[in-house]
Chain A
Amino acid sequence: MKTIMKYVVADLIRNKVIVVYAIILAVLSFSLLSIDENPAKGLLSLLNVTLLFVPLISILFATIYYFNSIEFIELLLAQPVRRNKVLLAEYAGLTISLSLAYLLGVGLPVMIISPNLAAITLLLSGFLLTLIFTAIALLIFVLFKDKTKGIGAAIAAAMFFTLLFDGLLLIFIYSFNEYPIDKAVLGITAFNPVDLARILMLLQLDVAVLMGYSGALFKKFLGTGTGSVYVVICMLFWVLLPLLLSVRVFRKKDL
């Protein structure tokens, strides 16, 4: 598995899209951090950039890459190697490259300009989002036979988690605002990795006003420490579940 992963990474770090992605993130980070005197504000803007771009780019790029590699995956599977090893090696290679681009593009400027706990949390949430959405892309790849449908599903998934989910949650909160739904909202938030990433960051930044309803709830019920641990565990589940499902489906997939 390590062998295949190594070569996938070697291929991807010379991929133009990955390089451009890292450069754009770096330019954005430098400019956002130097606009305002207060680095916390810059970090908040960077959080919004991360929450919007990382899921979208990760899932789209990964889906396209998986589907383009299908003939190569076939060739690898014709060699004496296990099926799940090939699949996980492709995943690992992609995740390493995409996270590397993110950690260099955002991490480097952030660590130079304002190195603190909040900055590290931002990097952690961006990194976890990359892991999650590359894993969801893998699940899409094994479930769909057709590349166009797969890309459609990837866009739909990214839109659902970045935009639609919050809308639905708001409708839920408004419709049931006369009931004690605090705990329910906490539970529902766990179903959206993007929300989880936002909360993880905001728990660190101490800007309760900006946290929104669910963020404030987290702080109230769990406090910063327990809340953060809970969020990270939820996010790790979001990595593992799609991966395990993909391996299961891939075992029986016809290529």
Chain B
Amino acid sequence: MIHINALTKSFGSFKALDNISLNFAKGRTVSLLGPNGSGKTTLIKSILGLVIPDKGTISINDKQIGNDWQYRSHIGYMPQIGRYPENMTIGQVIKMIKDIRKDNVQYDEELITQLGVDKISSKTMRSLSGGTRQKVSACLAFLFSPGILILDEPTAGLDPLASEILKDKIIQECNKGKLVLITSHILSDLDGITNDVVYLQDGKLIFYKSVDELQHMTSETKLNKMIASVMRNEHTKTADI
């Protein structure tokens, strides 16, 4: 569904992405992991066309994204920080995004009701807490039931209940054959959701493996233990050399 080939992006002398090639298939939930500044957000933003890569190509549904913009109707995006015009109400924000994506009239409003966003739709964005804004962002990402969902730190700032609702929704959408890309630092939140793990460091791809493979390699059951174990091995390997 998404095909990334030799993607490279530098900001000045800093290499945010270094020759990354990846393939994401539908019906999978892929976690992008890595320390701060490892290039996760840059990768996501490249797919969304917010960051323009220096080299390499990205294709979505076998169509290369260049100056094209229509491809984004296949994507739902939930940003890390959701900030909206202060005097707009939640209802207006949702209505506006609907107006912008007029091509799609089939709305998936399940999250809006489940997260209770519909009950506070007359509140202005200024008066909302960070967590509530995250809820609005989540609703907007799922609203058009796009084929690809890109979630940047979706559970950060959400209360446990909302975070569970969101996780269930992610699993449900993935089972419908959608591709879900998630970045998160909270590995325990990704347990049971994610099928594949992409690990980035300093803009380089360290590994791209399925959770089953990782389980097999490390004989651990928890995702954070698996990652820690793999990283330890990688570390000793490089130390040996």
> SS class of chain A's interface: helix, strand, loop or mixed?
helix
Cβ of B161: which chain A residues have Cβ within 8 Å of it?
none
Interchain nearest-CB distance for B84 vs A (Å): 6
A10-B88, A255-B50 in contact; A76/B83 too (CB < 8 A)?
Answer: no
Beta-carbon contacts under 8 Å, A47-100 to B: 68-69, 71-72, 74-83
Mark out the residues of chain A between 111 and 138 whose CB falls within 8 Å of any chain B CB in the assembled complex: none
The answer to whether B48 touches A77 (Cβ under 8 A) is yes
Q: Which residue of B lies closest to A145 (CB)?
A: B11
Q: CA separation between A89 and B133, bound complex, in Å?
A: 23
Comparing B97-105, B177-185, B195-203, B207-215, the segment that makes contact with chain A is B97-105
**Centre residue among A8, A69, A79, A81 by max chain B CB count within 10 A:** A79
- Contacting pair A254 B50 (CB below 8 A): yes
Q: Assess the B82–A11 pair: CB atoms within 8 A.
A: no
Whether A79 and B72, one on each chain, are in contact in the complex, defined by CB atoms closer than 8 angstroms, is yes
The smallest C-beta distance from B9 to any residue of chain A, in angstroms, reads 8
The answer to whether B88 touches A80, judged by C-beta atoms less than 8 angstroms apart, is no
A226 touches B (CB below 8 Å): no
Instruction: Report chain A residues within 8 Å CB of B81.
Output: 71
Closest partner residue, chain B, to A75 (CB atom): B79
Mask of B116-134 contacts with A, CB within 8 angstroms, 1/0: 0000000000000000000
Question: Contacts A68-B83, A75-B79, A78-B77 known; A3 to B99 CB distance under 8 Å?
Answer: yes
Q: Which residue of B lies closest to A253 (CB)?
A: B52
B79: chain A residues within 8 A (beta carbon): 71, 74-75, 78
* B51 contacts across to A, CB distance below 8 A: 254-255
Across-interface contacts of A82 in B (CB, < 8 A): 69
Asked if A160 is an interface residue, CB under 8 A from chain B, the answer is: no
Q: Point out the residues of chain A lying under 8 angstroms from B140, CB to CB.
A: 75
Closest Cβ of chain B to A75, distance in Å, is 6
Given A7-B88, A71-B79, are A80 and B73 neighbors across the interface (CB < 8 Å)? yes
- Find chain A residues with CB under 8 A from B101 CB: 79-80
Interface residue tally of chain A, by bracket?
20 to 34
A252 to B51, CA, bound (A): 8
Partner of B100, one of A12, A81, A252: A81
A81 to B75: give the CA distance in the assembly, Å.
12
Chain A contacts of B97 at CB under 8 A?
A: 79
| B87 interfacial by beta-carbon distance below 8 Å | yes
Given contacts A80-B72, A255-B51, 14 further A-B contacts (CB under 8 A): A3-B99, A7-B85, A8-B85, A11-B86, A69-B85, A74-B50, A75-B82, A75-B140, A79-B97, A80-B69, A80-B71, A81-B69, A252-B52, A254-B11
**Could you jot down 16 A-B contacts, CB within 8 Å?**
A3-B96, A3-B100, A4-B100, A7-B92, A10-B87, A12-B87, A14-B87, A15-B86, A15-B87, A69-B83, A76-B100, A78-B75, A79-B100, A80-B73, A80-B101, A253-B52
Contacts from B to A (Cβ < 8 Å): 11, 45, 48-52, 69-73, 75, 77, 79, 81-88, 92, 96-97, 99-101, 103, 137, 140
Q: Which residues of A contact B (CB under 8 A)?
A: 3-4, 7-8, 10-12, 14-15, 68-69, 71-72, 74-83, 252-255
